[in-house]
Structure formats: structure tokens, C-alpha cells
């Protein structure tokens, strides 16, 4: 297949850890790469935010990146990009028309890319799928007035839901939210979780990892890694860590990885400045280390060096970092929201706690850090669960099947579980991850 992937604000080659560079960038990069390995031709369309980069870049054989000129060629917060989507659509539509061979199908990522895809479908009759990555109404519930996206997002998402040929939900909560808040048709929704790359994320010996990072071999290391935005709940991690230190009375360190720059800069990343103040207020500023952003090649070292990975966002549409930690054999303490309550198996690969609750986080840290045998067990279970259920290869094969089924709807469109023998749902058949109503979809 010739597949167009649209990801208006999240380039597959961007560095990670900044405000608008996170899981979606990884998702698009891995999906494109793995679909290429399966023999498909991929072109990814993203907004050009640097005047020095060319419009067309060859990333790998069969994988081309199109940097779409839409608006000024510098970074713009994704909350402010909607006015440039008409220009984005016009350029992309002309590019499509100029191709010697039409694209077979479009896979769009995020609601603004979905808007582009709906207009292209109307003009050229090319079917499209969408992975929303986050839903506007759900975001507004959790973020309220701090949500910077315009209200037009809700109506645009409703239009996309009605016109999309297929919708990829990343977890059962995502599926449920599409039904509840957007009245999506069950027949077009497929649950396909995100994953990790085993070549990129795998365990390395803890002592060696700590030596590489210059960390004390005997110190307790707690890790938080992700985009530096308030909803990720890093302030709650600091407060819970401070409570833990008071009770444990052991040497410990909290590493916070992420930011707009390779060295922590509270000016360029205001969230780091806010979190530094939280650490000072909690009296743990000397044992909280901000590292700045780190390249993908370094992340397995940080995951492997840690005794436990902690992520407690207010809400999380999916969350790739818990899977990456699990793949590296490091147990996870995560908030019981969105995709995290689905990927982290409570009591088997880690512990789930309420968001915004440092006392409960303290209790979870005390439990997991005081029992080395439990940590080892959680680590072993984590590696097994991640490799069995959450790999990018499995995700790409499932999406390949979905895309193919929409192009060639044999027998009124065969559903994914009937086509993929080693299917995600078959592997989860003994787990209570879907209620009765959601199970009816699969």
C-alpha cells in the first residue's frame, strides 16, 4: 500500500521531552518505520517549523517526510495551529494530486490532522483512519480553563468521527470515551495499543546503567520521565517522594528527565522552574535532579538505572513511558487513569494510585521500595507483559490489517480479531480489561 500519514504538529524526527514533543512523535515514527519494514511506501506530512529544513526529506527506504509549509517556519504551540490548517490542507491536497500514483489510504494523527484528512477525502475520495491520541472533550473535563485549545475542536472532532472510515482507540478508556462523548459507531473503532521497540528498549544491568549516568550504586533511584507540562503530574511525584523520604529515612534520589533543552533550563522550560520551586518548598531540592531532555538512545539507561518509575498524570490518553519502563524491567507506579490503568497490571507489574495524591504515592513507594523480592518479581512480570502485548511490531501489523480491510472490504469488512491469529485481544482474553459492552465490539 501507498500510505499517507498526517501528523501536523508531531514530527517523527523531533527530539523528545519538550512541551509538544512526546508520545505522538514516537507513535508516528514507529508506525511509519514498521509499515515500511512490512513492504509499504510511507509519506508523513508534518508542519514545517524550521526554515533550514527542506520540504522533502528521505528518512529511510520507502519512508519520506514532507515538511508542509503552513504558517511561519518556527515552532508554534499546537494550541495555536488551527488557523494554519487551511494552508496545510491546500499544500497537502496539491501534493496528493501531483503524485504519479494516488495514495491508497490516509492515517491521520490528532484532531487537526483528522480535519485535513476529511477535506482530502471529500476532494479525492481517499479513505482515512484516525488515531486521536487525545480527545478534546476529555481534555476539557480534566484541564478546564487551562485547556488552550479552541472550542471549535469539539465540532471538528464530531465531524471526523462521522466521516472517518476507521478509528484507532489506544486503550479501552479511549474506546469508551469515543462512545460516551462522541457517539461513535462501534463498527468503526478498533482498539490497538501503543508499544515499544525491543531493539531500543531492553534491560541493561543496573550497576552498569548507574555507572554510565554517574549515579551512586547504593542510592535508591526513583525516576520520572516525560514531557514537561503540568498535566503529567511531576509536582505530585516530587511531593510523594518528599513524603517517602521523611518516612523511609534512607538516601534516595528522584531523577526528572525531560524539557525543551539538553540541560535543564527553567527559562526555556517554565515547568522545570515551577517544579524546582515545588522541590524547594518540600525540602528535597538537594535530592531531586533535573536532567533536561535526553535522546532516545539514552532512555533505556535511565529506565534500567532506576529502582522504580513513577508517572502520575491527571489524565493520560495512553502513555508510552510506562511500557518502556516495563520493557526495561523496571516496575511502575502509575496513576489509575486512561491507558496507564490498562498497561500497568496492579500488583503484578507495579502499583496504581490515584492522581494528585502524594500520600497514596508515598504508601506505594514504601511498599515497593522496602521489598526487593517484590521489585524483582514486578520487573520480571513487566518484561513479559511488555513483550507479549505491547510492541510496535504487533501494533503495526494490526494497523496494517485494519488499513487493508478498509481498502478491500471482503465479506462486509472482516474485523481485526478474525484476521490476526496472534491478536492482542486473544492474548488478553483472560484479563478483565473490557466490560461486557466493550467486549461486544471485538
Burial 170-206 (b: 16+ CB within 10 A, else e): bbbbbbebbbebbebeeebbbbbbbbbbeeebbbeeb
Q: CB of 195 within 8 A of CB of 323?
A: yes
pLDDT of residue 144: 85
Answer whether residue 429 is part of any domain. Answer: no
CA pair distance 371, 249, nearest whole angstrom: 15
Each residue's pLDDT tens digit, 187-221: 999 999 999 999 999 999 999 999 999 999 999 99
261 by Cβ neighbours in 10 Å (0-12 / 13-18 / 19+) ranks as middle
Q: Are 113 and 164 in contact (CB under 8 A)?
A: no
- In this structure, are 214 and 160 located in the same domain? no
* Position 406 in a domain: no
For residue 410 the three cell numbers come to 471482503
72 and 171 inside one domain: yes
Q: pLDDT band for 409, please (50, 70, 90 cuts).
A: low
| 181, 210: one domain | no
The reply to whether 288 falls in a domain is yes
- Residues with Cβ within 8 Å of 255's Cβ and at least 6 positions away in sequence, in order, are 221, 222, 223, 224, 225, 289, 291, 302, 306
In this structure, the number of other CB atoms found within 10 A of the CB of residue 302 comes to: 24
Q: Identify whether residues 100 and 26 lie together within a single domain.
A: yes
The burial class, CB within 10 Å (0-12 / 13-18 / 19+), for 83 is exposed
User: Cell 496472534 appears where?
Assistant: 422
Residue 15: the pLDDT is: 52
Helix (H, G, I), strand (E, B) or coil at 185: coil
Q: Is residue 395 part of a domain?
A: no
Tell me if 375 is assigned to some domain: yes
**Residue-level pLDDT at 87:** 98
| In a shared domain, residues 383 and 314 | yes
d(CA 307, CA 309): 7
Q: Which of 371, 389, 407 is the last residue of a domain?
A: 389
What is the DSSP code (8-state) at residue 188?
G
Q: Which three cell numbers stand for residue 52?
A: 533550514
Q: Are residues 157 and 46 in the same domain?
A: yes
Contact 105, 406 (CB under 8 A): yes
| Domain presence at residue 408 | no
pLDDT of residue 387 exceeding 50: yes
Can you give the CATH number for the domain in which 84 is found? 3.40.50.2000
pLDDT above 60: residue 90: yes
Q: How far is the C-alpha of 331 from the C-alpha of 368, rounded, in Å?
A: 9
Residues 244 and 169 in one domain: no
Q: Does 184 lie in the same domain as 45?
A: yes
Higher pLDDT, 436 or 258: 258
Are 238 and 356 found together in one domain? yes
> What is residue 22's predicted lDDT score, i.e. its pLDDT?
67
Residue whose cell numbers read 476507521: 166
Q: How far lies 84's CA from each of 135, 147, 220, in Å?
A: 20, 19, 47
Helix, strand, or coil (residue 9): coil
Query: What is the rounded distance in angstroms from the CA atom of residue 47 to the CA atom of residue 15?
Result: 15
Boundary (domain end) residue, out of 341, 367, 389 = 389
| Domain assignment of residue 58, given as a range | 2-191
Domain count, the chain: 2
Q: Are the beta carbons of 37 and 62 closer than 8 angstroms? A: no
The strand pair at 288-292 and 166-169 is best described as: unpaired
Q: Grade residue 21 by pLDDT with cuts at 50, 70 and 90.
A: low
Torsion, CA 145, CA 20, CA 319, CA 17, rounded to 10: -120
Which spans in 249-357 are helix H? Answer: 270-281, 296-305, 321-327, 340-343
Q: What is the model's pLDDT at position 431?
A: 44
pLDDT at 436: 35
Q: Are 169 and 190 in contact (CB under 8 A)?
A: yes
For residue 223, give every residue at least 6 positions away whose Cβ sits within 8 Å of its Cβ, in sequence order, or none: 254, 255, 257, 302, 303, 305, 306, 308, 309, 310, 325, 330
pLDDT, tens digit (0-9, with 9 covering 90-100), for 125-177: 999 999 999 999 999 998 888 888 999 999 999 999 999 999 999 999 999 99
Query: How many Cβ atoms are within 10 Å of 226's Cβ, its own excluded?
Result: 22
**Does 413 have pLDDT greater than 70?**
no
Q: Which residues contact 322 (CB under 8 A, 6 or more apart)?
A: 309, 311, 332, 334, 340, 343, 344, 350
pLDDT band with cut points at 50, 70 and 90 for residue 17: very low
Q: Which range (84-93, 100-109, 408-417) has the least confidence? A: 408-417
Enter the C-alpha cell of residue 321.
513511558
Confidence at residue 18, expressed as pLDDT on a 0 to 100 scale: 43
12 or 417, which is more confident: 12
The mean per-residue pLDDT over the stretch 415-434 comes to: 40
Residue where a domain terminates, one of 191, 220, 250 = 191
Question: How far is Cα 71 from Cα 200, in angstroms, rounded to an integer?
Answer: 34
Tell me which of 113 and 295 has the higher pLDDT. Answer: 113
Whether 237 maps to a domain, the answer reads yes
The torsion angle over the Cα atoms of residues 43, 28, 144 and 335, rounded to 10 degrees, is 170
Residue 269 lies in a domain: yes
When pLDDT is averaged across residues 376-402 and rounded to a whole number, the result is: 96
Q: Do 51 and 182 sit in the same domain of this protein?
A: yes
Q: Based on the fold, state whether residues 297 and 182 are members of the same structural domain.
A: no
Whose grid coordinates read 490532522?
113
In the predicted model, what is the mean pLDDT of the chain? 90
Q: Which range has the worst mean pLDDT, 17-26, 223-232, 375-384, 392-401?
A: 17-26
Residue 398 DSSP label = H
Residues 148 and 215 reside in one and the same domain: no
CB 41 within 8 A of CB 101: no
Amino acid at each position: 500500500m501507498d500510505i499517507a500519514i498526517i501528523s501536523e504538529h508531531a514530527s517523527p524526527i523531533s527530539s523528545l521531552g519538550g512541551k509538544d514533543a512526546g508520545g505522538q512523535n514516537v507513535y508516528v515514527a514507529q508506525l511509519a518505520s514498521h509499515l515500511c519494514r512490512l513492504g509499504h511506501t510511507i509519506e508523513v506530512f508534518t508542519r514545517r517549523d524550521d526554515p533550514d529544513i527542506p520540504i522533502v526529506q528521505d528518512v529511510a527506504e520507502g519512508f519520506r517526510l514532507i515538511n508542509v509549509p503552513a504558517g511561519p517556519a518556527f515552532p508554534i504551540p499546537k494550541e495555536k495551529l488551527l488557523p494554519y490548517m487551511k494552508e496545510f490542507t491546500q499544500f497537502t491536497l496539491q501534493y496528493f494530486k501531483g503524485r504519479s500514483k494516488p495514495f491508497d489510504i490516509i492515517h491521520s494523527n490528532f484532531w487537526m490532522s483528522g480535519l485535513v484528512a476529511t477535506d482530502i477525502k471529500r476532494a479525492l475520495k481517499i479513505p482515512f483512519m484516525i488515531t486521536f491520541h487525545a480527545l478534546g472533550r476529555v481534555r476539557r473535563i480534566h484541564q478546564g480553563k487551562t485547556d488552550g485549545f479552541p472550542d471549535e475542536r469539539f465540532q471538528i472532532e464530531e465531524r471526523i468521527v462521522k466521516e472517518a472510515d476507521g478509528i484507532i482507540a489506544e486503550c479501552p478508556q479511549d474506546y469508551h470515551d469515543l462512545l460516551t462523548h462522541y457517539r461513535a459507531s462501534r463498527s468503526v473503532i478498533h482498539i490497538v495499543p501503543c508499544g515499544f521497540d525491543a531493539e531500543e528498549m531492553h534491560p541493561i544491568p543496573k550497576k552498569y546503567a548507574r555507572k554510565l549516568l554517574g549515579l551512586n550504586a547504593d542510592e535508591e533511584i526513583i525516576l520520572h520521565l516525560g514531557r514537561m507540562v503540568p498535566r503529567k503530574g511531576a509536582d505530585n511525584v516530587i511531593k510523594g517522594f518528599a513524603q517517602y523520604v521523611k518516612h523511609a529515612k534512607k538516601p534516595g534520589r528522584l531523577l526528572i528527565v525531560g524539557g525543551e533543552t539538553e540541560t535543564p533550563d527553567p527559562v526555556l522550560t517554565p515547568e522545570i522552574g515551577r517544579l524546582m520551586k515545588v522541590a524547594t518548598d518540600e525540602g528535597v531540592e538537594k535530592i531531586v535532579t533535573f536532567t533536561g531532555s535526553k535522546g532516545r538512545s539514552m532512555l533505556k539507561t535511565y529506565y534500567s538505572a532506576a529502582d522504580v518509575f513513577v508517572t502520575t498524570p491527571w489524565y493520560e490518553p495512553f502513555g508510552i513511558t510506562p511500557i518502556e519502563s516495563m520493557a526495561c524491567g523496571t516496575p511502575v507506579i502509575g496513576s489509575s487513569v486512561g491507558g496507564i490503568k490498562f498497561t500497568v497490571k496492579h500488583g503484578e507489574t507495579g502499583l496504581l494510585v490515584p492522581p494528585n495524591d502524594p500520600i497514596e504515592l508515598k504508601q506505594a513507594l514504601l511498599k515497593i521500595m522496602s521489598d526487593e523480592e517484590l521489585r524483582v518479581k514486578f520487573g520480571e512480570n513487566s518484561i513479559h507483559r511488555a513483550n507479549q502485548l505491547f510492541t510496535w511490531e504487533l501494533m503495526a501489523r494490526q494497523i496494517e490489517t485494519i488499513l487493508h480491510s478498509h481498502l478491500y472490504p471482503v465479506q462486509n469488512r472482516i474485523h481485526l480479531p478474525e484476521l490476526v491469529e496472534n491478536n492482542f485481544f486473544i492474548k488478553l482474553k483472560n484479563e478483565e480489561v473490557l466490560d461486557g459492552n466493550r467486549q461486544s465490539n471485538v
